[in-house]
Amino acid sequence: MFGYPGFWQILIVLLLVVLLFGRGKISDLMGDVAKGITSFKKGLKDDEDGQTSQASNRSIENEADPEEAVNIQKEKADLS
Protein backbone atom coordinates (compact mmCIF):
# COMPACT_ATOMS: atom_id res chain seq x y z
CA MET A 1 0.00 0.00 0.00
CA PHE A 2 2.72 2.49 1.00
CA GLY A 3 5.48 1.32 -1.32
CA TYR A 4 7.95 3.28 -3.33
CA PRO A 5 6.57 6.20 -5.35
CA GLY A 6 5.95 5.40 -8.97
CA PHE A 7 7.13 7.26 -12.06
CA TRP A 8 3.90 9.24 -12.43
CA GLN A 9 3.87 10.27 -8.78
CA ILE A 10 7.43 11.61 -9.00
CA LEU A 11 6.59 13.40 -12.25
CA ILE A 12 3.54 15.09 -10.69
CA VAL A 13 5.57 16.24 -7.66
CA LEU A 14 8.30 17.67 -9.91
CA LEU A 15 5.67 19.44 -12.01
CA LEU A 16 4.13 20.98 -8.89
CA VAL A 17 7.54 22.15 -7.66
CA VAL A 18 8.25 23.82 -11.00
CA LEU A 19 4.83 25.46 -11.02
CA LEU A 20 5.14 26.73 -7.45
CA PHE A 21 8.71 28.03 -7.57
CA GLY A 22 9.23 28.67 -11.27
CA ARG A 23 12.21 27.75 -13.39
CA GLY A 24 14.12 30.92 -12.49
CA LYS A 25 14.17 30.32 -8.74
CA ILE A 26 15.07 26.66 -9.14
CA SER A 27 17.99 27.46 -11.46
CA ASP A 28 19.17 30.20 -9.07
CA LEU A 29 19.00 27.74 -6.20
CA MET A 30 20.97 25.13 -8.14
CA GLY A 31 23.56 27.77 -9.05
CA ASP A 32 23.96 28.69 -5.39
CA VAL A 33 24.36 25.03 -4.46
CA ALA A 34 27.04 24.61 -7.14
CA LYS A 35 28.90 27.70 -5.88
CA GLY A 36 28.78 26.32 -2.35
CA ILE A 37 30.18 22.97 -3.44
CA THR A 38 32.95 24.68 -5.41
CA SER A 39 33.81 26.88 -2.44
CA PHE A 40 33.85 23.87 -0.13
CA LYS A 41 36.22 21.94 -2.42
CA LYS A 42 38.49 24.99 -2.72
CA GLY A 43 38.57 25.30 1.07
CA LEU A 44 39.52 21.64 1.43
CA LYS A 45 42.29 22.05 -1.13
CA ASP A 46 43.62 25.18 0.58
CA ASP A 47 43.55 23.38 3.93
CA GLU A 48 45.49 20.43 2.51
CA ASP A 49 48.04 22.78 0.93
CA GLY A 50 48.44 24.59 4.26
CA GLN A 51 49.06 21.34 6.11
CA THR A 52 51.60 20.26 3.49
CA SER A 53 53.53 23.53 3.75
CA GLN A 54 53.48 23.35 7.55
CA ALA A 55 54.85 19.81 7.43
CA SER A 56 57.62 20.85 5.03
CA ASN A 57 58.49 23.79 7.28
CA ARG A 58 58.80 21.45 10.24
CA SER A 59 61.05 19.08 8.30
CA ILE A 60 63.27 21.98 7.21
CA GLU A 61 63.52 23.17 10.80
CA ASN A 62 64.45 19.67 11.95
CA GLU A 63 67.19 19.36 9.32
CA ALA A 64 68.74 22.73 10.13
CA ASP A 65 71.19 23.04 12.97
CA PRO A 66 69.63 24.14 16.29
CA GLU A 67 70.88 27.71 16.03
CA GLU A 68 69.19 28.21 12.64
CA ALA A 69 65.98 26.60 13.90
CA VAL A 70 65.86 29.11 16.76
CA ASN A 71 66.37 31.98 14.28
CA ILE A 72 63.56 30.67 12.06
CA GLN A 73 61.21 30.43 15.05
CA LYS A 74 62.09 33.98 16.12
CA GLU A 75 61.39 35.27 12.62
CA LYS A 76 58.01 33.55 12.58
CA ALA A 77 57.18 35.01 16.01
CA ASP A 78 58.14 38.49 14.78
CA LEU A 79 55.84 38.13 11.77
CA SER A 80 52.88 37.08 13.92
Q: What is the mean pLDDT of residues 12-40?
A: 89
The helix-helix angle for 7-63 and 66-79 (nearest 10°) equals 130
Residue type for position 52: T
What is this structure's pTM? 0.43
Q: What is the pLDDT of residue 38?
A: 92
Q: What is the mean pLDDT of residues 19-37?
A: 88
Q: How far apart are CA 59 and CA 72, in angstroms?
A: 12
Q: Among 9-13, 47-51, 53-57, 64-68, name the most confident range.
A: 9-13
Q: What is the mean pLDDT of the chain?
A: 78
